[in-house]
Chains A and B, each alone.
Chain A
Amino acid sequence: MFMLKKLTILVSFLVIASCRLPTNFGFYQPITLDLTVPDGPPEYKAGWHNGCRTGLGSIKYFANSQVYSDPDGTDFGSGIYQHDKVYQTAWGHGFFACNIHTGSFVAYHSMQKMPLN
């Protein structure tokens, strides 16, 4: 019994230890959303940044994300990278990663179903 208790504590500690520390306070975006732009060539970073910003600001799953909204609805920067495939790929990655993460953060909360469901 004592061994089982120790094992339970150890496993719980290992699981909790693998949690990521949050990188923001969760006010303008979900607390689990890491806004650090991934490493890559400048075109990729620009695309990710713009795509993620569009994903947060244009489809307002998270109410306070309206601070990221652009008057035109989408953010393609200054247009200098429009011809670049790497930029466009990164824009798509950033948009879907940030947008779907935010949407599921709002929708898949712990109270979404009744206790007996």
Chain B
Amino acid sequence: MAFLLPNRPDDAFDEDLEHASLEFKQGWKDGCEVGMASGSNTFYKMFYRQNKVDGYKIANSPDYKAAWGNAFWYCYRYDSVKQKSSIWGSILKGYE
């Protein structure tokens, strides 16, 4: 139900990942959750786990591993860049 929270990074990319393997999609989803848990403020952290990773897939699936790593940094940056800007600052000059 965390998708009800406003302005969340896309952890699925349904169109772009339409032809991706299941493991890649799962890796992106898991990595994004950890990234969101890392980059968000104390309120949003209540909704995400920072240990959402399948160690067996990391060890055996290059797709899962690559997707997890990219999603972690993408979603971490998506959230953290907002936290570094004040409300008026983000409106007048964008996110820092």
Tally of A-B Cβ pairs under 8 angstroms: 114
Q: Is A18 an interface residue (CB 8 A)?
A: yes
Give B11 Cβ to nearest chain A Cβ, in Å. 14
A102 to chain B, nearest CB (A): 9
Residues of A within 8 A of B72 (CB): 96-97
A108 to chain B, nearest CB (A): 4
Inter-chain contact A44/B55, CB cutoff 8 Å: yes
| Contact A104 to B41, CB < 8 A, known contacts A18-B2, A38-B52, A44-B59 | yes
Taking the closest CB of chain A, its distance from the CB of B41, in whole angstroms, is 4
For residue B83, CB closer than 8 A to chain A, the reply is yes
Would you list 22 pairs from A and B whose C-beta atoms are within 8 A, ordered by A residue? Answer: A19-B47, A20-B48, A32-B37, A32-B46, A36-B51, A38-B52, A38-B55, A40-B55, A41-B55, A44-B55, A48-B53, A90-B58, A93-B34, A97-B51, A101-B50, A104-B39, A104-B41, A108-B80, A108-B83, A110-B43, A112-B83, A114-B86
